Amino acid sequence: MRIRVSLLALLCLTVLIISTGCGTKKEVAKPVKFEVTHLSKSTGLPEENITSLVAFAGKIWAGSRKGLYAYDGVNWAIYQAKNVNSLGSNIIENLTVHDNKLWVATDNGACYNDGNRFMSFFTNGRARACIGAGGEVIVGTANGIVLNSSSRGKNDGLVENEVTELCYDSKGNLVIGTRAGISKLEQGMFMNFTGPAKTLMGSSLIEVPPSPANCQLSGNNIKVLLPFKNFVAIGSTCGLTLTDLKGRWETYKSAYEDFVQKGDGSIVKEMIEGNCDMPGNIVNSLAKTDGDEILFVGTDKGLAILLEDKKWADIDLLVPELPKINVTGVAFLNNDLFVSSGGGIYKVKDIGNLVKKVDKEKTNDTETL
């Protein structure tokens, strides 16, 4: 009798558990989406065709062919040659932030802003890029670099005269981006890096080996440089490279067309499979979160985001309202991302929260292990 009662109780308990389980609705986690706001002339942006973008001194600075603009979150301040003597031209070629200064390259000179005022330091023509630290100022030009008023070019060991970008690596060495590779100035000497390439010689397609042999630059036409963790992030016309400019190279490319020579001697274009989901391979701009956790990549076909775990974020899922545009600049400020184009600036609110998400996932993984 006691056995029958126990069996009956067990059966009732089982039915109760099943019934309770069936009645419970499991909540499905909603995908995170970040709000996008378009800053344009209608909202106060003085000029929509923005060529460069950085965050400096708590503001967003936007360069254009009509002047330099600073956004404090409410209003835009306008800086032009007519009201800033140190600004040699309204055509802004490049903006860089380093050593607590905003470095401004124009097509008629270079200057910097220390948060209070502009100071001119180069007036001898078009500056492609400029930067400085510890009393040293460098200007990149079409004929090499000008280092503290002393010119140095290809004849002095620079990989190529036409300079496009400048930055300092994590050890304070000057890194120079050109139309034909990278140079690093270390202890007064240039160390040059060129990735693998192809060239047409007569009717033959010749493979040009990298130099040094382990160099894996995604492309040699450099568009942008950014110190990132212990690497230099390098954007080119053929993809993204993260490197310490020694033995560590990480290259990212989405699917791309390349020339291939067939057995019959004909040279044709073929689609080559990539290793990432970047929307485009022309990398125009780079930015990062304050702790170097996330890298924002602006390409000719839209934004890409490289997370801390080296996975690429799903842009269509996270920011579906952000159009697939030719990104000319990216800047991160106060947890928000600003993305510029020829049609204004897009503000992606609170995208810095992705850092917390990555950190949380990392903690969970550690606990599991």
Domain spans of the chain? 31-368
- Which of 6-10, 137-141, 162-166 comes out lowest in average pLDDT? 6-10
**What's the CA gap between 38 and 254, in Å, rounded?**
27
Among 160, 100, 157, 85, which residue's Cα sits nearest to residue 128? Answer: 160
**CATH code that applies to domain 31-368:** 2.130.10.10
The pLDDT, as a whole number, for residue 308 is 87
- Which of 2-6, 59-63, 150-154, 288-292 comes out lowest in average pLDDT? 2-6
What are the angstrom distances between the C-alpha of 105 and each of 96, 226, 297?
A: 9, 17, 22
The mean per-residue pLDDT over the stretch 312-340 comes to: 97
Token reading at 197: 């390439």
The pLDDT, as a whole number, for residue 31 is 62
| Residue 8 contacts residue 1 (beta carbons within 8 Å) | no
Among 125, 120, 124, 153, which residue's Cα sits nearest to residue 137? Answer: 120
Burial 248-285 (b: 16+ CB within 10 A, else e): ebbbbbbeeeeeebeeeeeeeeeeeeeebebbbbbbbb
Q: Between residues 304 and 124, which one has the greater pLDDT?
A: 304
Q: Which band of pLDDT confidence, cut at 50, 70 and 90, is reported for residue 22?
A: very low
**What's the CA gap between 36 and 45, in Å, rounded?**
16
Condensed to tens digits (0 to 9), the pLDDT of residues 165-216 reads 999 999 999 999 999 999 999 988 999 999 999 888 777 888 899 999 999 9
| Residue 237 contacts residue 180 (beta carbons within 8 Å) | no
Non-local CB neighbours of 221 within 8 Å, separated by 6+ positions? 164, 179, 180, 236, 237, 238
- Cα 302 off chain centre by: 12
Could you list the beta-strand ranges (E) of 300-364. Answer: 302-306, 329-333, 336-341, 344-348
The pLDDT, as a whole number, for residue 362 is 52
Give percent of the chain with pLDDT exceeding 70: 88
The mean per-residue pLDDT over the stretch 243-270 comes to: 87
**What's the CA gap between 263 and 276, in Å, rounded?**
30
In the chain, what is the greatest distance between 2 CA atoms, to the nearest angstrom? 106
The mean per-residue pLDDT over the stretch 143-147 comes to: 93
One-letter amino acid identity for 265?
Answer: G
The pLDDT, as a whole number, for residue 108 is 95
**What's the CA gap between 161 and 152, in Å, rounded?**
9
**What's the CA gap between 223 and 250, in Å, rounded?**
17
